[in-house]
């Protein structure tokens, strides 16, 4: 029985650390700035629902300007990273596409 408990603990630890040890550079940068997993999820949820709201949330996170600039440069040069992060966090990327289309039609 003890082996089974250790296996569950090991599996739980692996799953819990998976998001913290993300391969996505955007999530990594946010984690390095001590942004909680909850705030990261909130940010990407806002991004899928309302990209303008997400920009307001980013400003509230207190990320130093040079780090924020590096992150925005990464997003500009590799926009597919947003899709990867959204999918990694288990969110619906189709909402991002719909929001983008809405923004384009408004301009």
Query: Which pTM value belongs to this model?
Result: 0.68
pLDDT of residue 16 exceeding 60, the answer is no
Q: Using one digit for the tens of pLDDT, what is the confidence trace for 76-86?
A: 899 889 889 98
Q: Residue 3 has what pLDDT? A: 53
DSSP string, the chain: -HHHHHHHHHHHHHHHHHHHT-S-HHHHHHHHTT--HHHHHHHHHHHHH-HHHHHHHHHHTT--HHHHHHHHHHHHH-THHHHHHHHHTT--HHHHHHHHHHHHHH-
Q: Give residue limits of the domains in the chain.
A: 23-106
Average pLDDT, the chain: 79
Average pLDDT over residues 17-45: 85
Average pLDDT over residues 69-96: 88
């Amino acid at each position: 029985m003890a082996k089974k408990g250790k296996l569950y603990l090991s599996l739980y630890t692996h799953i819990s650390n998976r998001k913290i040890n993300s391969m996505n550079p955007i999530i990594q940068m946010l984690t390095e700035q001590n942004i909680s997993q909850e705030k990261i999820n909130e940010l990407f949820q806002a991004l899928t629902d309302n990209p303008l709201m997400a920009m307001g949330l980013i400003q509230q996170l207190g990320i130093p300007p040079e780090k924020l600039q590096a992150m925005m440069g990464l997003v500009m040069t590799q926009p597919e990273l947003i899709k990867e992060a959204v999918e990694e966090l288990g969110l619906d990327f189709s909402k991002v596409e719909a929001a983008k289309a809405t923004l384009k039609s408004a301009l």
